Amino acid sequence: GEEPESDEPVENHRPGTLCIAARRLDLLSGWLPAWHLSLVLRYTGGESVEYEGASTTPIPGAYGPIVIRKRPFRPRPDRHGVVVDYVYRRDLEDWEQALDVETARLNTAAVAYEPLTGPNSNTIVRTLLLRLWLPPIQPAAVAPGFDHEAL
């Protein structure tokens, strides 16, 4: 029979955890609490990479297309936030490669940003989770656009 998998490091593999980050946004002067979601790949050993969707411009009525940025994850002290571990993986790097391909596809598609109904940054998180064949689970009570059809 085959040996069971272990958590021992394997050469050329980078284990870690895929996380969902949620940052609180207060819309309409605090009357509508909502959450902005992003995906975080937290590698064992400390490095974390974030995939975050946003509008091209912050101008209401002229947001432009959604743009996804990949960068080192940085918690934002100016917003209440939470990072929820979603799934551990022995080789997280292959998911990072898949997310890079999907990010390029979505950025090229130039999908119009709709803040309240989607598609928006929360729709991007849903789309990326589905691209990885993961159930689209979100940790926030109100995340407008998360239930929008995946892109």
The pLDDT tens digits for 25-65 are 766 555 667 788 999 999 998 899 999 999 998 888 889 99
- The count of other CB atoms within 10 Å of the CB of residue 126 is 23
The residue whose two tokens read 């996804």 is 68
Cβ pair 121, 140 in contact under 8 A: no
Q: Report which DSSP code applies to 65.
A: B
Locus of tokens 């995906």: 39
Q: What is the pLDDT of residue 51?
A: 96
Query: Which residue has tokens 């997310």?
Result: 99
**What's the pTM?**
0.83
Contact at 8 Å (CB) between 41 and 15?
no
